[in-house]
Amino acid sequence: MFAEIIIDIAHANVDRLFTYRVPEELSILPGQHVLVPFGHGNAQKEGFVLSLTETLEADYPLKDVLRAIEPYPVLLPEQISLAYWMQKNYHCLLVDALRLMIPAQLRGGRVHEKIERTVSLSRTLTPEEMLRSLCDSSGKPRAKKQHEVVKLLSESGLEMSVADINAFLGGASSAIGALIRRGYLVENGHVTFRRPDGAGEAIADKTVALNAAQQSAVAAVNEAMARRDGSTLLLHGVTGSGKTEVYMRCIEACLRSGREAIVLVPEISLTPQTVGRFRARFSDEIAVLHSRLSAGERFDEWRRIRLGRARVAVGARSAIFAPFSALGLIIIDEEHEASYQSETAPRYHAAEIALRRAAETGAALLLGSATPSLLSYFRATSGRYQLLTLPERVMHRPMPEVEIVDMRQEFLAGNNGIFSQRLQKLLRECFSDGRQAMLFLNRRGYSTFVSCRACGKVIQCENCDISMTYHKNAGLLRCHFCGASAPIPSRCPDCGKPFIKYFGIGTEQVEEQLRRLFPDVRALRMDTDTMRKKGAFDQTLSAFSRGEAQVLIGTQMIAKGHDFPNVTLVGVVAADATLCIPDYRSTERTFQLLTQVAGRAGRDDNPGRVVVQTYNPNHPAIRFAKNHDYPGFFRYELAERRKALFPPYTLFLRLLFSGPDEAALAESGERYGRALEAALLDLLGSEGRQDLLMLSCSPAPIRKKQGSYRYQVLIKLLRTKRTASVLRLIYDFEAAHRNELFALLEVNPQDML
């Protein structure tokens, strides 16, 4: 028997199969993780068996597989074919794709199964004889602790873990050791699974009867699961319409049919509250996968899935690779979230992997959102996905009423504070009614830029082309790209005059101004600055839901998914913060954010109100969000994309060059851009020319980052039959020049800065 093995080394030169002989005494299966001799000196390396053959025409001596590392294949056949597909479609190393399918710690033997030490009474003597022998002639125990251990074990009549005995008897390790030496106890080991707790208290939902819209959504998903044709459904449900309940019912049906389910949730929404809801419904069938788990927990949760002990995986992006062999359903909640796109190689999107796995296994794919991505809704309207809608909130609760406040008028009326008169009034009412409020601003720090009033100089980071943010609590200026900090200047570094002024509000300032206005009100703040400590995120959310504060201030961290029944007021402090970002999706992102934050209000029986403060009250993103009009927004934005030739009408790519010497970079970026364009036009020929739109090399919106200059070539491609071969050419071109110039090719980059 011969094995085709890929070595676990991420390098293009060895990213291929090597043939090894499988010795008679080893039984090896495809997907197995093995040790093999490799390279000069035959160092032991880890590798993965991708296939086996019985015959081989090799006229060179083969090396032997040394041994299997785990007793079962760590990769399933479907995962191996998925990895080949990724290699081809994302132009990544095969081994990099395979590495996504197993826990990182499995490689290199950094984590092992946890064996729990247990002991039981031996059968050399009866328990009575043992107890007697541990006493003196008067019947008093000579070795008191040993006596207690034997007594405990004889009463429980079972095997017990050493940890439990220690806990029970307040430390009995040396007594246990002595009893083992005496031959009274035998020692065993059992494999245990480390379970993430804390992610724990199961909060059961009330049992509810589905409304008509939910029922037909569930029925449609069940039909798709029964067809086993890998179809995709898009669930567009307004905030609070009971999407999670639909997911749960579909998962129940999936499990009943003997199949397994994956549920993807954005990392930030994987709170104890979310996990608890799933755990309450599916108890031990649930395995949770996210980055806050310890290495051991992650490994064990993965193994529970692989070994069939858990049949539902709930996790962030990478849980899409969960090793199920009978997948029936994949759910992607908040499918519009940018975090489903991986920003490191392989640069995959979880929904693309899901589409592929669904097609391979016949599982149904359910995408859900209150604000679907333009691309998904486009596919739903063109019949590629089946559209399901939940147009109303549950129990006929009204959508929150959204008011727009024009901050220009507010300024003319003499109010140059952060809070409009209207928002102040509603906050006051909210507090006196004993309700809670949320204040949203997508910028952290105190002031977002610092400048000199005499000469206009804006204080920038030394390494990056952006202004420094003033952090009042920390007492310094900080760069939000590279993290560099600088002291607060008392004079302008350019003109030397003492007229330093701070502009642009951040969350820190919102908190301070709120305290000034409402000294008795308690506020919590959630942004990357306050959430650095482990557990801070979960603690703040649960403190707020217990009512320990009346206001929650935060960045987009607070916008998503959370369900706080007592929140009746949401204030968007400055809706313009995301509008001015130079990205073709900034309108879409602003609409999504506003709709999501607004959705936090009025989720219980008390109607909610939303105040959106803006300098652009007529902006379409704001108008459509005010009216909760997703279809209107979709039609508007789609027309804009068509005019400007952006996705979904085109494939959008960016080739980003970076380097320390700006002039040289601009020059060579220009040269490469032209060479690539010539090669592409060559491939496309005269009739295909109009399918390509290439912009000449120009500085990226952030011209300098961490000391490196950045230039970009933007490419738009109309989707045609030849898109794949055009993409291949671009990938190959980039790979060929990667060493001469640091270049990064991004297909549909999520971050355009």
Distance CA 235, CA 223 (A): 15
Nearest distance, CB of residue 331 and ligand ADP, angstroms: 12
Q: What is the three-class DSSP state of 329?
A: strand
Nearer to Zn ion, 361 or 460 (CB): 460
Nearest to 549 by CA among 435, 427, 422: 435
Residue 479, contacted partner among Zn ion, ligand ADP, none, CB below 5-8 A by kind: Zn ion
What does the block give as tokens for 305?
A: 């899935």
Task: Choose the binding region for ligand ADP from 121-129, 240-248, 418-426, 638-646 (rule: CB under 6 A).
Answer: 240-248
Going across the sheet that includes 500-505, the strands are: 485-486, 476-478, 469-471, 447-452, 500-505
Nearer to ligand ADP, 4 or 334 (CB): 334
Nearer to ligand ADP, 184 or 278 (CB): 278
Residue 461, contacted partner among ligand ADP, Zn ion, none, CB below 5-8 A by kind: Zn ion
**Which of the residues 543 through 602 are near ligand ADP (CB under 6 A)?**
563
Distance CA 614, CA 626 (A): 12
Q: 246 near 235, Cβ under 8 Å?
A: yes
Burial of 266 from C-beta contacts in 10 A (0-12 / 13-18 / 19+): buried
106 binds Zn ion (CB under 5 A): no
Nearer to Zn ion, 347 or 705 (CB): 705
Task: Choose the binding region for ligand ADP from 95-103, 216-224, 233-241, 733-741 (rule: CB under 6 A).
Answer: 233-241
Distance CA 544, CA 281 (A): 24
Nearest distance, CB of residue 246 and ligand ADP, angstroms: 7
Task: Choose the binding region for Zn ion from 459-467, 571-579, 630-638, 669-677 (rule: CB under 5 A).
Answer: 459-467
Residue 297, contacted partner among Zn ion, ligand ADP, none, CB below 5-8 A by kind: none
Residue 288, contacted partner among Zn ion, ligand ADP, none, CB below 5-8 A by kind: none
Q: Which of 148, 245, 637, 734 binds ligand ADP (CB under 6 A)?
A: 245
Q: Which of 73, 103, 230, 242 binds ligand ADP (CB under 6 A)?
A: 242
Nearer to ligand ADP, 563 or 662 (CB): 563
Residue 484, contacted partner among ligand ADP, Zn ion, none, CB below 5-8 A by kind: Zn ion
**Which of the residues 379 through 398 are near ligand ADP (CB under 6 A)?**
394-395
Residue 449: HSE in the Cβ half-sphere, 13 Å Cα cutoff: 12
Q: Which of 120, 381, 386, 463 binds Zn ion (CB under 5 A)?
A: 463
Distance CA 380, CA 745 (A): 29
Residue 736, contacted partner among ligand ADP, Zn ion, none, CB below 5-8 A by kind: none
Nearest distance, CB of residue 370 and ligand ADP, angstroms: 7
Q: For residue 737, how many other CB atoms are within 10 A of its CB?
A: 17
Cis peptide leading into residue 30 (ω within 30°): no
Nearest distance, CB of residue 479 and Zn ion, angstroms: 3
In which residue are the tokens 């200026």 written? Answer: 477
Distances (CA, A) of 243 to 368, 392, 561: 7, 11, 11
**Which of the residues 473 through 532 are near Zn ion (CB under 5 A)?**
479, 481-482, 484
**Which of the residues 202 through 231 are near ligand ADP (CB under 6 A)?**
205, 208-211, 214
Single-letter amino acid code for the residue at 427? L
**Residue 187 pairs with which residues in a beta bridge?**
119
583 φ, ψ to 5°?
-150, 140
What does the block give as tokens for 136?
A: 């003196």
Residue 563, contacted partner among Zn ion, ligand ADP, none, CB below 5-8 A by kind: ligand ADP
Nearest distance, CB of residue 390 and ligand ADP, angstroms: 7
Distance CA 204, CA 209 (A): 15
Total site size for ligand ADP, rule CB under 6 A: 17
Nearest distance, CB of residue 446 and Zn ion, angstroms: 18
Residue 464, contacted partner among ligand ADP, Zn ion, none, CB below 5-8 A by kind: Zn ion
Q: 97 near 87, Cβ under 8 Å?
A: yes
Nearest distance, CB of residue 563 and ligand ADP, angstroms: 5
Nearer to ligand ADP, 82 or 331 (CB): 331
Q: List all residues 6 or more positions away from 445 whose beta carbon is below 8 Å from its beta carbon.
A: 469, 470, 471, 478, 480, 506, 507, 508, 529
DSSP H or E segment with residue 736: helix 723-737
SS3 of 265-310: the string is: CCHHHCCHHHHHHHHHHHHHHEEEECCCCCHHHHHHHHHHHHCCCC
Nearer to Zn ion, 22 or 461 (CB): 461
Nearest distance, CB of residue 254 and ligand ADP, angstroms: 18
**Which of the residues 511 through 540 are near ligand ADP (CB under 6 A)?**
none
Instruction: Return residues touching Zn ion (CB under 5 A).
Output: 461, 463-464, 479, 481-482, 484
Instruction: Return residues touching ligand ADP (CB under 6 A).
Output: 205, 208-211, 214, 237, 239-245, 394-395, 563
